[in-house]
Structure 1
Amino acid sequence: MASYSLPCLAFHVKRYEPELVVPAKPTPHELKYLSDIDDQEGLRFQNPFIWFYKNNNSTSPSLMDEKDPVKVIREGLGKALVYYYPFAGRLIEGYKRKLIVDCNAEGVLLIQADSDFSLEQLKNNIQPPYPFLDEVLYNVPGSDGIVGCPLLLIQVTCLICGGFILALRFNHTLCDAFGLLQFMNAISEMAQGAQKPSIQPVWQRDLLSARNPPRITCTHHEYEEAMTGPVNMDQNNLVQRSFFFGPNQIKAIRSHLPPHLRSCSQFELLTACLWRCRTLALKLEPEEIVRVSCIITARSKRRGPGLPVGYYGNAFAFPAAVSEAGVLCKKSLGYAVELVKKAKAEMNEEYIRSVADLMVIRGQPPFIVRGNLIITDVASSKSADVDFGWGCPEYAGPAMAFPQISFQVKSRNKEEDGIFVPICLPILAMIRFEQELKEMTEVVNTYNKIPAKITSTL
């Protein structure tokens, strides 16, 4: 038994031995090269996602009453891996550290676990951050590397109420969130009896590989050389909190903008607000250069080359807005919004091809860590649509933020729709960050008088 203390209760999990799930049928043993967008230093990490399902027998009572979610998911996974067989392989490094998938069918790690908790008992903890994440997503020793390790680890924790938690960790070089969810939907379809996925997977990583000859044609602030080391980031003193932005909060923040900017998107508004509040909270030197990098998909013809349906590789770039910290903090929110809008507008097919070429010319440089915040929008993702037969999840999305990476995810708080944003900062900076957000949503501003409150979740 493993346990984690929560207020007034202790979270208990019993885990069984991890197993390797292999494709249900023989698959090609071949080498598959990743694209030059996949194969960058900044994506060489394991990314956690999580889903919470209740015992929703009303969805299909005759079918699901006696079903074991672990068995259902295991069988669906094995069948889906026949089509997505690179997930069952292992990464190797080629010339100049080029990542290649050895499609050897070694398998995906699956862990079965049981808990004496119900979903009702966890209802206040089914949105990030999770104090029990290590319990529902066990780090199997030796599994968290990049080369020679499983590309996917899944843990299914069955709850006493008949619901369950599905948590996973995927190697980000193989796919992005869009590609992961395409794969998860394939598992759910196969688990419920489909003969093949409704969307056939497309590899074709050459579509986002460098041109011949490679040429850098755009300015890429996200890869510019900078001083090494994080700014005011005590790695031993980090805390995570999640902030909820409902309609009132969004309206209050938007009221800080001049009329000509109030039509900006919700993503642009929140990204600019978070960037400015975070910079103020970190108390940087005025001349320090800070950035916010917006992850923008290249799957559409408007933003990229128009990739085929079924492509599940990484298909995004993250153009960065840049400012001196002192200027960003002194100027109004409108200044930050304009910079974010300008950075987003840079994203097009030429931009992402320039990124791929930069990776080859400069040897896969990492994105800048110092003074950089990377924000992705998963509010419109299909993570909440993954249904294994128990209905849609109560919550679905990324499981945590990182010191330099956060996300916006659609969720609910006290029956109100809104956006959750988890943030990871040193504890004193977090206190200041929360105060800055409070001022943005409560203080009467220049343009409009709209009081509102920000909700923080520990």
Structure 2
Amino acid sequence: MMQVTEFTCGGFVVGLTSSHTMTDGLGAGQFINAIGDYARGLPKPRVTPIWSRDELIPNPPKLLSGPLPTPRIFQLRRLTVDLSVDSIADAKSQFLQATGRRCSTFDVAVARLWQARTRSLRLADPSTRVSLGFFADARHLLRGGGAAGFYGNCFYTVTVSAESGAVVGADTAGVVAMIRDAKARLPAEFARWAAGERVEPDPYDLSFSYEWFVSDWTRLGLDADYGWGTPSQVISFAFLPFMAKAIIGAPPAPKAGVRIMTQCVEEVNLPEFRDEMEAAF
């Protein structure tokens, strides 16, 4: 569903909502870019749509029957923090010096987020495990070696877990390494799932606990051009009270860097989470 709201100044806002049972973020971005292509007078979308889901997507394990989980409602609070270009570059440099490897802006953002949130929780037992999930595009792992143009749902959840003490006490490079190790497991874990093996924990199971997930919007293509240029900002408007999450996006143009929009802690943890985030970035 899409809604356009036009203002008296001539500007407008495009609102979009979609169901993950039909499409993922990349598919939604491709859809609205196709609309932008038509709006700008192109004879057809620049990316030809692929609808042949049965030829691309493997048969997953059968879903278990039973009652749906009852969501636990949290009083989650919002917090938005911007990462400067310099702070991102500094963290990447630290990781390169420590490991001899390169990392991405996403790796840095997720590492800083995870550490700041874990510290704000002040867990009494340092051996308590803390986890987070993030969504990885799996199109390049499909049959045929890729599916550019596929509109459907094709993400796989990557989970990273560690003892809270290790996350709290590590330097930035150490937490980034945890994130990258989890990403490296994606091809093997997806292959097992695609072969019909049941992967534990279920990558698509929503536990509705205080654990959380991160979504990267910087490469989804949500900044579609409808004829007046790309939007000044793309944000997440609807946050569900039973899902703690953070979204990585871009700050309002022309500001550079990364904007992180969160709703992942309750009021009791918010002041320290804010302090940790601001200190980190």
Shorter-chain TM-score: what band?
Answer: 0.7 to 0.9
1:342 and 2:190 aligned: no
1:200 and 2:39 aligned: no
Match of 2:148 in 1: 309
CA–CA distance in 1 between the matches of 2:149 and 2:270?
40
Match of 1:393 in 2: 231
Cα RMSD (Å): 3.1
Match of 1:129 in 2: none
Match of 1:380 in 2: 219
Counterpart of 1:190, as a letter, is Y
Q: CA deviation at 1:157?
A: 0.9
1:159 and 2:7 aligned: yes
Kept in 2, the 8 Å contact 1:210–1:360? The answer is: no
For residues 2-401 of structure 1, the aligned pairs below 5 Å read 153-206=1-54, 207-210=56-59, 235=74, 237-254=75-92, 257=95, 259-261=97-99, 263-286=102-125, 287-300=127-140, 303-305=141-143, 306-348=145-187, 350-356=188-194, 357=196, 366-370=205-209, 372-384=211-223, 386-400=224-238
Match of 1:433 in 2: 273
CA–CA distance in 1 between the matches of 2:183 and 2:32?
29
Q: Give the TM-score of the pair, scaled to structure 1.
A: 0.52
Correspondent of 2:247 among 407, 415, 420: 407
CA–CA distance in 2 between the matches of 1:181 and 1:316?
14
Q: Which has the higher helix share?
A: 2
Cα pair distance change 1:347/1:173, threshold 3 Å:
same
Unaligned runs of 5+ in 1: 1-152, 216-227, 442-458
SS at match of 2:182: helix
CA–CA distance in 1 between the matches of 2:199 and 2:139?
22
SS at match of 1:170: coil
CA–CA distance in 1 between the matches of 2:34 and 2:129?
43
Per-residue CA shift, 1:383-411, capped at 9, x if unaligned? 22x12222221112533555422221123
SS at match of 1:411: coil
SS at match of 2:79: strand
Match of 2:66 in 1: none
CA–CA distance in 2 between the matches of 1:437 and 1:250?
13
Q: CA deviation at 1:426?
A: 1.2
Cα pair distance change 1:358/1:240, threshold 3 Å:
farther
CA–CA distance in 1 between the matches of 2:115 and 2:70?
20
Q: CA deviation at 1:376?
A: 2.4
CA–CA distance in 1 between the matches of 2:116 and 2:215?
17
Kept in 2, the 8 Å contact 1:186–1:197? The answer is: yes
SS at match of 2:10: coil
Q: CA deviation at 1:359?
A: 6.5
Q: CA deviation at 1:365?
A: 5.9
Q: Give the TM-score of the pair, scaled to structure 2.
A: 0.81
CA–CA distance in 1 between the matches of 2:215 and 2:203?
21
Counterpart of 2:165, as a letter, is G
Q: CA deviation at 1:338?
A: 1.4
CA–CA distance in 1 between the matches of 2:202 and 2:178?
29
How many residue pairs end up in the alignment?
267
Kept in 1, the 8 Å contact 2:192–2:199? The answer is: no
Counterpart of 1:308, as a letter, is A
SS at match of 1:335: helix
> Greater CA radius of gyration, 1 or 2?
1
Relative contact order: is structure 1 or structure 2 higher (C-alpha 8 Å, sep ≥ 6)? Answer: 2
Q: Which has the higher strand share?
A: 1
CA–CA distance in 2 between the matches of 1:321 and 1:364?
12
CA–CA distance in 1 between the matches of 2:88 and 2:202?
41
Cα pair distance change 1:307/1:439, threshold 3 Å:
same
State, as a whole percentage, how many aligned pairs show the same letter.
25
Counterpart of 2:275, as a letter, is Q
